[in-house]
Amino acid sequence: MKIKPYQIILFLLLSLFGVSLLSLLIGSVSISPARLLSPALRGILFLRITRLILATVAGAALAVVGAILQGLLKNPLADPYILGISSGSGLGAVIAILFGLNLTFLGSLSLPLFAFLAGLVTIFLVYLLSKKGPRVSTEDLLLSGVIITAMLSGIIMFIVSATEQEGLHSALWWLLGNTQIYDLKLLAVVSAISVIGIVVSTFLARNLNIMSLGEEEAITMGLDVEKVKLIFFIISSVMTAAIVSVCGMIGFVGLIIPHIARRIIGPDHRRLIPASALCGGIYLILCDILARRVTQPVELPIGVVTAICGAPFFILLLRRSRRPK
């Protein structure tokens, strides 16, 4: 019997609920289900809930952006960081941390704000470099993103290596990725941006299906290709910049998760985008659990875990896709 798409989505929702409960129970201090609502554990539970929400939102957003870019650019290796957004946000955050650019009236929002604005400036630069008249070439977009990423990564390494020890650990920890967050307002803003981006992308998913046929075919079908590119470009950029500004650089989520979701539910973006969001949330929650437990009591940066888990898995996917049928 063929499994229907809604059954797959339901299974993913149940799986997300299961790993979320697991995330609340497992950590540096394990909690039994019976003690989960104990007043004595409210502080621990609060930290774990905020961390769980951020991991879910970040995983979902990065996976959806990966699915969008792979469909839009028709490149299976496209991911949220290929356009230079992460390097731009990373540079903004590193400068803010190492040079103490804390705006007192913004408090804890200073670092994310610098990272977010730097990411948006970077993506605007990439867009301008790839624009030819009224059109934006997808090939030039990828090439510009790779070049800008390499340049900004070099600048980040230079600043880190040339700076004194003070603030260096915070900068490196941020660059390696984490899901710790203590500001509920910031969590609410990032979550709202991500959820709105995912919902809008799902409603516009039919346009991605048409774009996957090729730009010429899409134009003959009456689609405003350049407008669609710009809309998805903005959605992807804002979502990625928001996540990177809070979580740092968490790689491989947007690269491998869309491939997994595509194998599970098919290439139709109307189903692929919500499936990618759920798979991304599940994956990053599991990685967050591993980050807390593998080297206990020392916690690993979650970006390290996603890289260790993601790289071999993606190599396996590539090998399978190249096998003769």
Separation in Å, CA 60 to CA 67, 89, 138, 152, 176: 11, 19, 24, 26, 19
> In the CATH scheme, what is the homologous superfamily, with its name and number, of domain 5-321?
ABC transporter involved in vitamin B12 uptake, BtuC (1.10.3470.10)
Contacts of 20 by beta carbon, 8 Å cutoff, 6+ apart? 52, 56, 285
pLDDT confidence of residue 101: 64
Q: Which run of H or E residues covers position 252?
A: none
- Output the CA–CA distances (angstroms, integers) from residue 104 to 101, 173, 179, 244, in the order listed: 9, 23, 23, 22
Q: Would you list the domain boundaries of the chain?
A: 5-321
Return per-residue pLDDT of the chain as tens, 325 residues: 678 888 999 999 999 999 999 999 887 777 777 777 777 777 788 889 999 999 999 999 999 999 998 888 887 878 888 788 888 888 888 887 777 665 544 556 777 888 888 888 888 888 888 877 777 777 788 888 888 888 988 888 888 777 766 667 667 777 788 888 878 888 998 999 999 999 999 999 999 999 888 888 888 888 888 888 889 988 988 898 889 888 888 888 998 999 999 989 999 999 999 999 999 999 999 999 999 888 777 788 898 899 888 878 777 766 765 555 5
Helical segments of 131-183, H only: 138-162, 168-176
Cα 236 to Cα 110, 243, 244, distances in angstroms: 22, 11, 12
Report if pTM > 0.85: yes
CA 277 to chain centre: 10
| Residues counted in the chain | 325
Q: DSSP string spanning 26-83?
A: -SSS---GGGTT-GGGHHHHHHHHHHHHHHHHHHHHHHHHHHHHHHHTT-TT--TTTT
